[in-house]
Amino acid sequence: MEIGSLYHVSSGAVREAAKQTGAAKKAEAEKESRDIFSTVLNNAIDNLHTTNGYISDMENEELKVALGQAENTHDLSIAMQKASAALQYTVAVKDKFMEAYKEIMQMQI
């Protein structure tokens, strides 16, 4: 039974407990939304680090091919595809974040 359903009871203690339960639920919801935001932000930062790693690997493979140290060009091709896919994904995520930000900024308060 939900304590909020006891509002009609004239006891002050029950009403106070119901108010505190509502405040606790609100605080829990705020904490959960902060946790979700921090998780999304940390994942986006990890995505940037991964993308930078792929781009760095591609540049290293390009240098190996240019210096004649590479045995085959397949490694360069693979590194370029990984870097391209990661960069496209990162740009798509950035675009969605910017779209959401603009939508939030256009909201009327």
Q: What average pLDDT does this structure show over 1-24?
A: 56
Residue 39 pLDDT: 87
CA separation for the pair 12, 40 (Å, rounded): 42
Residue 95 pLDDT: 93
CA separation for the pair 22, 16 (Å, rounded): 10
Q: What are phi and psi of 13, to 5 degrees?
A: -65, -40
Give the pair of three-digit tokens for residue 79.
């590194």
CA separation for the pair 57, 80 (Å, rounded): 9
Q: What letter does residue 8 receive in the DSSP assignment?
A: T
To the question of pTM greater than 0.75 for the whole model, the response is no
pLDDT single digits (tens) 55-97: 999 999 999 999 999 888 899 999 999 999 999 999 998 899 8
